[in-house]
Amino acid sequence: MIRSYNVIIKLIDRYDYGGALELLSEIGLENSDAAVLMDSCRYAVNFDFKTARHLLYNLTEEYEATPEIKFLKKKPSEPHGWRP
C-alpha cells in the first residue's frame, strides 16, 4: 500500500490525474473521496470546469464540508471570500 501511495503522489506531482485514478481503481479505491478528487482534477486540467465541479458533489459529507471543497463548488459568478 505504501508503494502505491508513493506512485500516486508522483503521478499527482506530474499532473497525471488519470493515471492516479487508474491506480486507485486497481487497489479497490475507485469509489473513494480520493478517486472523486482525481477524476475532478482530470477534467479541470482539460479546462472542463463544469464537469470538474459537478463531480465534487460525489464526495462524502465529511469532505463536502471543508472550506476548500466549498470554494471549488462555487460558481464563477458567486463571491468567493476564501482564497487558496
Q: Domain of 45: which CATH number?
A: 1.25.40
Residue ranges making up the domain that contains 20? 2-73
**Residues 28-53: pLDDT tens digits?**
999 999 999 999 999 999 999 889 99
17 occurs within a structural domain: yes
Whole-angstrom Cα distance, residue 9 to residue 48?
23
66 occurs within a structural domain: yes
pLDDT at 1: 63
User: Which pTM value belongs to this model?
Assistant: 0.79
Task: Provide the number of structural domains found in the chain.
Answer: 1
pLDDT at 74: 79
DSSP 8-state code for residue 65: T
Is the pLDDT score of 68 beyond 90? no
- For residues 56 and 83, which has the higher predicted lDDT (pLDDT)? 56
25 occurs within a structural domain: yes
82 occurs within a structural domain: no
Q: Is residue 36 within 8 Å of 56, Cβ to Cβ?
A: yes
pLDDT at 41: 94
15 occurs within a structural domain: yes
67 occurs within a structural domain: yes
80 occurs within a structural domain: no
32 occurs within a structural domain: yes
